Chain A
Amino acid sequence: MSTTKKIALTGVFTALAVALSYVEFLVPITFVPVPGFKLGIANLAIMAALFFLGPFEAAAVSALRLVLTLFLFSNVNAFFYSVCGALLSLAVMIIIKKTTFFSEIGTSVSGAVFHNIGQIALASLILKGSGIWYYFPALMLAGTLTGTVNGLILRFASGPLGKIFKTSGVQTGQ
């Protein structure tokens, strides 16, 4: 894949990540009474970047998504939680992918669970108490389930997506 194409696709995945974050912002899942619960669909775009482009591009998508969502519709409080979760999640996903021991699904699940761990670790630092870890089992369970679903989505999408990225040049006027 040429550098130009990589840069362009990084942009596309960043746009996708921001759009997915916005969807999650518009439709918060509040019937699960656990603070910090999210579907984590923005991770789909980051994982797509990780699997199709590489760890550097995935990190770029993740960082740009964080900054863009902060300026567009998030707040500083949520931003720091996101940063903490995203850093840990991305690091773990890159390592898991490197081991080639798991597929997209395993990568997604570990990313989701470590996103939760990162956020809850920051929460326990900010709130200066271990009380928040009370929610950890519920968050971990939720993260495992949403991570599995996201991983399956990516698994089934990666076939057609891979074909598109491989065969298509940039086609104009169509």
Chain B
Amino acid sequence: MTGRLSELTGLQIMKNKYLNDIVLIAVLLAVSLVLWFATVTGGNGKTGEKVRITVGDEIIGEYSLGTDASVDVRGMLTVVIENGQVCVTGETCRNHICAKHRPISKAGQTIVCLPNGVIVRITGNGELDAVI
């Protein structure tokens, strides 16, 4: 009898565990979605003004978003500015994630090429200093 009782309470604890899991997953999903929404609208949806390219902690240059340009970043990749949109091509990294990133145009949006340490970031009005 006591064995069955502990079995039952054991089952209860197990059930609670899964309930806790679901709560944890739901909270994490909610937090990440809210953060995502915050970063996407973080630049207040304003069109950016400049494109800043950095390699490591060194700023390679700032380019106007309004003028079409093609910037070679140390032979590692090319940043293409066209019609107020920025994308990355000709990258030398393995997974080509930076090139697959959709073009960016709003302040605060960023394309990162992690293997090369290159960050392409749009700056402009209403941009937060740090988007966390």
Q: Is the CB of A101 within 8 A of B17?
A: yes
Residues of the A chain whose Cβ atoms lie less than 8 Å from the Cβ of B126: none
Q: Is the CB of A36 within 8 A of B114?
A: yes
With A28-B94, A103-B17, A109-B28: A130-B132 Cβ-Cβ less than 8 Å:
yes
Q: Which 7 A-B residue pairs are closest in the complex by CB-CB distance?
A: A137-B36, A137-B35, A128-B57, A140-B32, A141-B32, A106-B21, A130-B130
Q: What number of B residues sit within 8 Å (CB to CB) of A?
A: 41
With A and B bound together, what is the CA distance between A72 and B95 in angstroms? 18
Q: Is the CB of A30 within 8 A of B96?
A: yes
Residues of the B chain whose Cβ atoms lie less than 8 Å from the Cβ of A151: 21
Q: Of all chain A residues, which has the CB nearest B113?
A: A35
The digit string for A130-164, where 1 denotes a CB below 8 A from any CB of B, is 11111111101100100010010000000000000
Q: Looking at the complex, which one of B13, B17, B54, B98 makes contact with A35 (CB distance below 8 Å)? A: B98
Q: Of all chain A residues, which has the CB nearest B36?
A: A137
Verify if B109 is at the interface (C-beta below 8 Å from A): yes
In the complex, 19 of the A-B residue pairs with CB atoms within 8 angstroms, ordered by the A residue number, are: A35-B112, A101-B20, A102-B20, A105-B21, A106-B24, A113-B28, A127-B112, A129-B54, A130-B131, A131-B110, A132-B112, A136-B35, A137-B33, A137-B35, A137-B39, A140-B32, A141-B32, A144-B25, A144-B29
Verify if A89 is at the interface (C-beta below 8 Å from B): no
Residues of the B chain whose Cβ atoms lie less than 8 Å from the Cβ of A140: 28, 31-32, 35
Residues of the B chain whose Cβ atoms lie less than 8 Å from the Cβ of A132: 110, 112, 119
CB distance from B22 to the nearest CB of A (A): 9
Q: Is the CB of A109 within 8 A of B21?
A: yes
CB distance from A44 to the nearest CB of B (A): 17
Q: Is the CB of A127 within 8 A of B95?
A: no
With A106-B17, A141-B33: A133-B24 Cβ-Cβ less than 8 Å:
no
Residues of the B chain whose Cβ atoms lie less than 8 Å from the Cβ of A103: 14, 17-18, 20-21
Verify if B108 is at the interface (C-beta below 8 Å from A): yes
Verify if A62 is at the interface (C-beta below 8 Å from B): no
Q: Is the CB of B21 within 8 A of A133?
A: no
Q: Is the CB of A129 within 8 A of B119?
A: yes
Verify if B50 is at the interface (C-beta below 8 Å from A): no
Verify if B61 is at the interface (C-beta below 8 Å from A): no
CB distance from B32 to the nearest CB of A (A): 4
Q: Looking at the complex, which one of A28, A106, A127, A138 makes contact with B119 (CB distance below 8 Å)? A: A127
